Amino acid sequence: MRPWYARLGAEASLATLNALAEEAGLRTESGRAVRFVPPAAADPYYEIKVFETGCVQTRAGNLHDLFNALAWLAFPRAKARINAMHAAQIPLEPGRRGRLRDLLTIFDEGGAVVCAPAELGELVRGFHWKELFWARRAQVAASMTISVLGHAVLEQSLKPWPGITCKVIFAAPGESPDGAAEAWLASLSAESTPRDMAPLPIFGYPGWLADSGLADFYDDTRYFRPFRRDLPK
């Protein structure tokens, strides 16, 4: 998202965001041009409205909404797929939101795409946090990229603290994070759940917090939780 953020200038106005959206040719999967508009009343069919009109409600001066707009610019294919899946699923769910839409919401708010060699991906899947972030920190810095799509996590990251965690999917080194996310989303079924994503405590990335320079930082199981057998690898 950094290149798009750099182009906002001193004032992240709706006009500036919409100029960038027009330049990028942002579209929903229904073919509507994505435009960022002032908020209206709360609507349980928000995602359907976005799908049908392309209008993404965005509060002026609100960082959460700003990062959502930046996510549309940086991950246009994945964001359009998330929206289309919500819009298709909502009419099938009288009342309570189902597990597939739980997954979509969690990925939208706190998701990331990890591009890394296979052995580092296996350490994430196995919850081997100390080996990943401490023993292999040089390899992580050199060959592991975490592209954060989740706008809530990006907002939290302005004031980083132990406990910030993403739910992640994996891509091959050099693969487009946006393309990988779109393909993964397209592969999901109605039975998919948030358990299909792996947790990653991104605050443990070497050098992000001052404490990450100490080996025993990664021994704190309040944050670096061990693998549980009731969770899928």
pLDDT for 233 equals: 42
pTM of the model: 0.93
Distance set, CA 122 to CA 12, 17, 197, 229 (Å): 39, 38, 13, 16
Encoded amino acid at 41, one letter: A
- Cα separation, 230 vs 217, in Å, equals 26
CB 93 within 8 A of CB 101: yes
Cα separation, 188 vs 17, in Å, equals: 31
Structural domain boundaries in the chain = 2-74, 105-219
In tens, the pLDDT along 94-127 reads 778 899 999 999 999 999 999 999 999 999 999 9
The reported pLDDT for the residue numbered 118 is: 94
The pLDDT > 90 percentage for the chain reads 82
Whether 231 has a pLDDT exceeding 70, the answer reads no
